[in-house]
């Protein structure tokens, strides 16, 4: 009777064979999504073009209206804080290692710590939960959150907090369960958010965003409206 080969053993043997033969073998990463400061899942062979592993720990808060429209029974809880972890494969050129903070309103913000790496299983560890400094820094940005919309006017203002020194305007599609609805949003962000570019697939600890628009400008000293 044959002894079954475990998936992890197969992946290790496959990687070793590729190395010995000098072949360009695909990367393997841990894949999982869960609540709390870490998660664990199976190793997965990445698709073509995905040359990095990523681990993200993020704290989120969303308004009741947005949570319900996106099916807030999952990662986001209506009007409450949520700490989540996400691990997966992705393109290294789309991946930013470090801290990101965005604020679209008092009850609409995300902060995250991310690590990108390029060796098999390198995202199996964890990263520290992000520091969530909600102290206003005197800057403001045009703000709006528009689920299922391609644009939003930014007629409201968001008060920037902590290290947030830039105004952002993101639009595209968000992977929320089995659907990929449109979204548009404006608000404050750390300069690190400017790394996200149009055409990129940008994960958060809760959702995967497909960006069609990604504008990022220094925040004005006084309330103003971005074009």
Q: What mean pLDDT value characterizes the chain?
A: 85
In this predicted structure, the answer to whether residue 85 has a pLDDT above a threshold of 70 is: yes
Strand intervals (E) in the chain:
28-35, 42-45, 52-61, 81-90, 98-105, 108-117, 136-147, 156-161, 166-175, 182-189, 201-203, 208-218
Q: What tokens appear for 69 in the block?
A: 């429209």
Tell me what the mean pLDDT of segment 5-19 comes to.
48
In this predicted structure, the answer to whether residue 17 has a pLDDT above a threshold of 60 is: no
40 Cβ contact list (under 8 Å, min separation 6): 30, 32, 124
Q: Are 117 and 137 in contact (CB under 8 A)?
A: no
Rounded-to-integer distance, Cα 169 and Cα 220, Å: 15
pLDDT tens string 25-64: 789 999 999 999 999 999 999 999 999 999 999 999 987 5
Tell me what the mean pLDDT of segment 98-111 comes to.
95
Phi first, then psi: give them for residue 193, nearest 5 degrees: -65, -20
In this predicted structure, the answer to whether residue 130 has a pLDDT above a threshold of 60 is: yes
Rounded-to-integer distance, Cα 136 and Cα 96, Å: 25
Angle formed at CA 223 by CA 217 and CA 227, multiple of 5 degrees = 45
Cross-strand pairs, 110: 60, 102
pLDDT band at 188; cut points 50, 70, 90: very high
Q: What tokens appear for 158 in the block?
A: 């968001």
In this predicted structure, the answer to whether residue 68 has a pLDDT above a threshold of 90 is: no
The structure's pTM equals 0.80
Poorest-pLDDT segment among 25-29, 80-84, 97-101, 149-153: 80-84
């Amino acid at each position: 009777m044959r002894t079954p080969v475990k998936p992890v053993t197969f992946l290790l043997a496959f990687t070793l064979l590729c190395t010995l033969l000098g072949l360009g073998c695909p990367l393997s990463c841990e894949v999982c999504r869960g609540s709390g400061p870490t998660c664990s899942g199976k190793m997965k062979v990445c698709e073509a073009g995905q040359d990095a592993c990523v681990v993200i720990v993020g704290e989120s808060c969303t308004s009741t209206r947005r949570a319900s429209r996106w099916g807030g029974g999952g990662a986001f809880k209506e009007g409450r804080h949520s700490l989540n972890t996400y691990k997966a494969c992705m393109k290294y050129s789309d991946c930013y290692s470090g801290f990101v903070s965005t604020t679209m309103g008092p009850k609409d913000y995300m902060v995250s710590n991310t690590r990108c790496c390029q060796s098999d299983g390198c995202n199996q560890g964890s990263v520290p939960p992000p520091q969530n400094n909600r102290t206003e820094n005197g800057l403001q940005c045009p703000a709006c959150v528009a689920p299922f919309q391609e644009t939003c006017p930014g007629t409201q203002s968001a008060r920037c907090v902590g290290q947030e020194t830039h105004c952002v305007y993101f639009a595209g599609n968000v992977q929320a369960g089995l659907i990929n609805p449109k979204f548009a949003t404006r608000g404050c962000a750390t300069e690190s958010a400017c790394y996200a570019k149009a055409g990129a697939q940008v994960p958060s600890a809760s959702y995967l965003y497909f960006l069609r628009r990604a504008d990022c400008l220094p925040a004005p000293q006084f309330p103003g409206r971005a074009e």
